[in-house]
Amino acid sequence: MNWYGKIIYSQIWATESDESFEEDLIAFYELEYKLQAIQNFPFKGMDRRRDNIIMKLTEALEDLMERLKEPLIATFHGWLQSHAITDPASWASSRTDPYGEGFMSSYDAEENLEGIIGEYIRYSNGGNAGLNAYNRPNTSSIFNNMLTEALNRPQEFTSLKGLINIIQEGERERLVEELYHDGFENFGENQRGEPFQTEEEAEAYIEEMVESIDVSEHFWGEKQELLSILEGQGQLENFLVELNQYLVFPLWYNYWGAMGIDTTRELAEEAYNNLVNASTIQECKLAIEEAIQTCHQNGSMLEYMGQHGDEDVDPKQIEGTLSGLTEGGFNAKWDKELQQIGVNIPKSVIKNNLDVAAA
């Protein structure tokens, strides 16, 4: 080997990584393996040189550690913000305003509402959207049923309080006008088929009628009108959140709970916390392995890296690379480089690594 080759080999902390996630992952395992070797096997050279190599390897590893953690942390944080949310209020808010804009026009809301109705239909049918060419659900009828249920739960659907008051007040004014126009006796004949005995009895009847009015009938097939009124009252987004929280979420959770959504979130939170808290090289290595191997209901968490990080990755390729790294498939190549700088690797280790590489 010429003098230039010896210099290159002596700088075993220098890797060929192009700073892509996969190349950084290989480089991290390479340097971690070399660091363990030079710390644990005899070294033919000056202690000062050995200490300098350990320092350089550690510095390079710490840099790689941060580069690998950053996209993984961003991926898990983004996923946890919008997936597998098992708190009803948080789930509803994330579905209603997924981008955190805090503002929604009636036009946006109508599109959002259609999505809510669609999810309500899907999870009412056990996860099946129920849409086909021969059996299309009547979304207007379904929404009317949803609105009726919402109106029957005023303690939860506080966004509808002002709307209910408007409809009730309008109905009250109409009936009172009829009462004073017809007189309480004729009013009774017209309303219930027999006269009232007193005006007070007629007024009490009006209050009963107002309280029992079906507000949903006023908006049959008129979703846009309803949304416009709620927008004017400043209750538009609250109404959509409440629909998601109280009508859709229980159905959604019933479906995904049976699919293990709670465990999925727990594993994702654990992987995320371990990444955030990893401060040593060994902790980082374990956290990265855990993160790469963590899955959600439909596949690998790495599928979301392109959405929340700077690059798209091929989950299967990354998992295959990790498998090769953890099984020692690269170790034989690194053994040669370590021997070149004077690390005395036991023959049994060399043989085992060669066997793994040949397998």
Tokens of 329: 């498939």
Window from 129-138, 255-264, 278-287 with minimum mean pLDDT: 129-138
Check pLDDT > 50 for residue 1.
Answer: no
Q: How confident is the model at residue 215 (pLDDT cuts 50, 70, 90)?
A: confident
CA separation, residue 184 to residues 52, 172, 326 (Å): 103, 15, 89
pTM over 0.75: no
Tens of pLDDT, residue by residue over 312-324, are: 788 888 889 999 9
pLDDT bracket for residue 167 (50, 70, 90):
confident
Asked if residue 31 has pLDDT above 90, the reply is yes
Contacts of 358 (CB under 8 A, 6+ apart): none
pLDDT digits (tens, 9 = 90+) for 301-312: 888 886 665 567
Phi, psi of 260 (to 5 degrees): 85, 30
Q: Which pLDDT score, from 0 to 100, does residue 218 have?
A: 73
Q: Are 76 and 271 in contact (CB under 8 A)?
A: yes
Rounded Cα distance between 27 and 320, Å, is 15
Whether residue 43 is predicted with pLDDT greater than 50 in this model: the reply is: yes
Q: CB-hemisphere CA count at 13 Å for 206?
A: 21
Cβ burial of 12 (10 Å; 0-12, 13-18, 19+) is: buried
CA 84 to chain centre: 6
pLDDT at 132: 59
Higher pLDDT, 216 or 254: 254
Residue with tokens 């050995």: 50
Counting residues of the chain whose pLDDT is more than 70, the rounded percentage is: 89
pLDDT, residue 8, reads: 43
Q: Which residue has the tokens 């979304």?
A: 139
Q: 178 Cβ partners below 8 Å, 6+ apart?
A: 187, 190
- Could you tell me the CA-to-CA distances from 208 to 181, 200, 205, 219 in Å, in that order? 20, 13, 5, 21
Q: Where are the domains of the chain?
A: 3-84+261-358, 88-258
Q: Is there a contact between 216 and 152 (Cβ–Cβ < 8 Å)?
A: no
pLDDT score at 2 = 44
Q: Which residue has the higher pLDDT, 252 or 152?
A: 252
Q: Quick one: pLDDT band at residue 5, thresholds 50, 70, 90?
A: very low
Compute the distance between CA of residue 34 and CA of residue 75 in angstroms, rounded to an integer: 29
